[in-house]
Structure 1
Amino acid sequence: QLALSARQRDVLLCLLRAMSAKQIARELGISSGTVKTHTVAVFRALNVSSRAQAVVEAGRRGIAIGH
């Protein structure tokens, strides 16, 4: 089981929708800096270093938009 906070999961789902940090910030009502902090935490949890790798790894783990 992937240990993500609710907000980190929200950010991951936005990443899966190919949203920019600015779009994610607007969508979630948080700052771009906070988006970056959560993105780094998501990358660490998934053991990846890029958005593309995060999308692939999330898919491998069965995490999809709307779940």
Structure 2
Amino acid sequence: METTTRRVRTAISGRIQARRARRQLVREIGSYRTPAERLELDLILGRHTEEQIAEIDAILRSA
């Protein structure tokens, strides 16, 4: 029983941390507002694979 409870708590904690991390990422991406800042973001993202930037692309598409 204790092990199951611990696993559930760990899973919930992990999901909470993931949501917090995503909200932080959304805030950080949202801080790139001017055309120059967006160009900088595009240049940064251009150095990475589509797989690496998939979450950021999803956030940008939903904005």
Shorter-chain TM-score: which interval? 0.3 to 0.5
> Which TM-score applies when normalising by structure 1?
0.34
Between Structure 1 and Structure 2, the one with more helix by share is 2
> Which TM-score applies when normalising by structure 2?
0.36
Q: Which has the larger radius of gyration?
A: 2
